[in-house]
Amino acid sequence: MRISTLILRSMRKNIRHYFLYFFSLIFSTTLYFSFVTISTNDNIVHLQESSMKAGAAFKAGSVILLIIVVLFVFYANQLFMKRRSKEIGLYQMIGMPKSTINGMLIIENIILWISAIFTGILFGFFFSRFFTMIFLKVVNNDKVVSMYFSKEALLQTLLVFAIILILILLQTIWLVSRSKLLDLFKANSKVEQRVKKLSSLKIILGIAGLVLIIYGYYRSTILFDVNENTTMTDLTISMGIILASVILGTFLVFHYSISFIMNAIRGSKKGHLSISDVLAISPIMHRMRASSISLSLITILTALALGVLSLGYIAYYGVTASTNQNSPYDYMTFNEQSTFEKSLNEAEIDYTKTEFQLLNVQADTYALMANPVEETNFTKDYDTIFIRASDVKQIFPALNLKEDEAVISGYSNIMEKLMQVSTNKHFEVDMNGLKKQVLLKDIQKQNVLPPEITYGNPAFIISDALFDSLSLQAHVKKQTIWKSIQGYDVASSDLKHAEDLFIKTTKNGTFTTDDVTLVAESKQKATKASVERIGLVIFIAGFIGLAFLFATGSILYFKQMSEAEDERHSFVIMRKIGFTVQEIMRGIYVKQLLSFGLPLLIGILHSYFAVRCGWIFFGSELYTPLFITMGLYVVLYSLFAVLTARYYKKIVTNAL
- Top mean-pLDDT range of 84-93, 155-164, 275-284, 588-597: 155-164
CB 349 within 8 A of CB 543: no
Contact between 410 and 454 under an 8 Å Cβ cutoff? The reply is yes
Domain of residue 122: give its range.
1-190
The whole-number pLDDT of residue 186 equals 53
Quick check: is 297 in a domain? no
Among 409, 442, 436, 398, CA closest to 424: 442
Indicate the range of 76-90, 114-128, 277-291 predicted with least confidence.
Answer: 277-291
Q: What average pLDDT score do residues 379-398 get?
A: 80
- Pick the range with the lowest mean pLDDT from 264-278, 323-337, 494-508, 586-600: 264-278
Task: State which of 190, 216, 247 marks the end of a domain.
Answer: 190
Q: To the nearest whole percent, how much of the chain has pLDDT over 70? A: 83
Phi, psi at 522, each rounded to 5°: -70, 160
Residue 433 or 209, more confident: 209
Give bridge partners of residue 487 from the DSSP assignment. 332, 354
Residue 51 has pLDDT above 60, yes or no: no
* Mean pLDDT along residues 422-442: 84
User: Can you give the pLDDT at residue 9?
Assistant: 67
Q: Is the pLDDT of residue 377 over 50?
A: no
The answer on pLDDT for 587 being more than 70 is: yes
d(CA 220, CA 243): 9
Question: Phi, psi (5° rounding) for residue 246?
Answer: -70, -45
Structural domain contains residue 32:
yes
As a three-state string, the secondary structure of 236-277 is HHHHHHHHHHHHHHHHHHHHHHHHHHHHHHHHHCCCCCCHHH
Helix, strand, coil share (%) of the chain residues, nearest 5: 65, 10, 25
Q: Looking at per-residue confidence, does 551 or 346 come out higher?
A: 346
Query: Strands 459-462 and 382-388: what pairing?
Result: parallel
- Partners of 489 in the β-ladder: 352
Please, which pLDDT band fits residue 277 given cuts at 50, 70 and 90? Answer: low
Contacts 24+ apart (CB under 8 A), 389-397: 389/461, 389/462, 389/463, 389/464, 389/467, 390/464, 391/355, 391/356, 391/357, 392/356, 392/448, 392/461, 394/354, 395/354, 395/446, 395/448, 396/444, 396/446, 396/461
Give me the pLDDT at residue 240, please: 87
How does residue 265 score in pLDDT terms, banded at 50, 70 and 90? confident
Confidence at 448, pLDDT banded by 50, 70, 90: confident
Q: How many domains does the chain have?
A: 2
| 76 occurs within a structural domain | yes
Q: What is the CA angle 426-431-433, rounded to 5?
A: 105
**Can you tell me the mean pLDDT for 246-260?**
86
Using a 10 angstrom Cβ sphere, with 0-12 exposed, 13-18 middle and 19 or more buried, the burial of residue 354 is middle
Count CB atoms within 10 A of the CB of residue 299: 26
Q: What angle do CA 652, 655, 656 make, to 5 degrees?
A: 130
> Would 113 be classed as within a structural domain?
yes
Confidence of residue 406 (pLDDT cuts 50, 70, 90): very high
pTM (whole model) above 0.85: no
The pLDDT score that the predictor gives to residue 248 is: 92
401 found inside a domain: yes
Evaluate if residue 515 carries a pLDDT over 60. yes
Residue 300 confidence (pLDDT): 87
Last residue of a domain, one of 520, 540, 571: 520
> What's residue 63's pLDDT?
86
Closest CA to 25 of 68, 65, 66, 76: 76
User: What pLDDT score does 550 carry?
Assistant: 83
Would you state the pLDDT for residue 428?
Answer: 86
β-pair type (434-444, 426-431): antiparallel
Report pLDDT digits (tens) over 499-513.
Answer: 899 998 888 888 888
Instruction: Count CB neighbours of 224 within 10 A.
Output: 17
Sign for the CA dihedral angle at 103, 107, 112, 113 comes to positive
Backbone angles phi, psi at 356, to 5 degrees: -130, 140
Digit-coded pLDDT (tens) for 105-154: 788 888 888 888 999 999 999 888 888 888 888 887 777 777 788 888 89
Range in 103-112, 368-377, 451-460, 543-552 the model is least confident about:
368-377
**Least confident residue range of 7-11, 455-459, 543-547:** 7-11
pLDDT the model gives residue 191? 45
Task: Give the highest mean pLDDT range of 143-147, 349-353, 447-451, 516-520.
Answer: 349-353
Between the alpha carbon of residue 215 and those of residues 210, 225, 301, 573, 608, the distances in Å are 9, 16, 20, 46, 15
Rounded mean pLDDT, 334-354? 88
In a domain, 267, yes or no: no
pLDDT value at residue 155: 93
Of the residues 190, 224, 239, the one at which a domain ends: 190
Asked if residue 50 has pLDDT above 80, the reply is no
Query: Does residue 537 belong to any structural domain of this protein?
Result: no
pLDDT, tens digit (0-9, with 9 covering 90-100), for 611-644: 888 777 777 788 888 899 999 999 988 888 888 8
pLDDT grade for 192, boundaries at 50, 70 and 90: very low
222 or 404, which is more confident: 404
pLDDT the model gives residue 386:
92
Residues in the chain: 656
pLDDT at 15 over 70: no
Q: Is residue 66 predicted with pLDDT exceeding 60?
A: yes
Beta bridge partner(s), residue 430 = 435
Average of per-residue pLDDT values in the chain: 81
Residue 109 located in a structural domain: yes
- The mean-pLDDT minimum among 149-158, 253-262, 289-298, 565-574 falls in 289-298
The answer to whether 422 touches 368, Cβ cutoff 8 Å, is: yes
Chain segment 32-41, per-residue pLDDT in tens: 898 888 888 7
Q: What is the mean pLDDT of residues 99-106?
A: 80
**Residue 604 confidence (pLDDT):** 93
Query: How big is the CA angle at 214 (ends 557 and 256), to the nearest 5 degrees?
Result: 50
Instruction: Give CA–CA dist 205/253, Å, rounded.
Output: 8
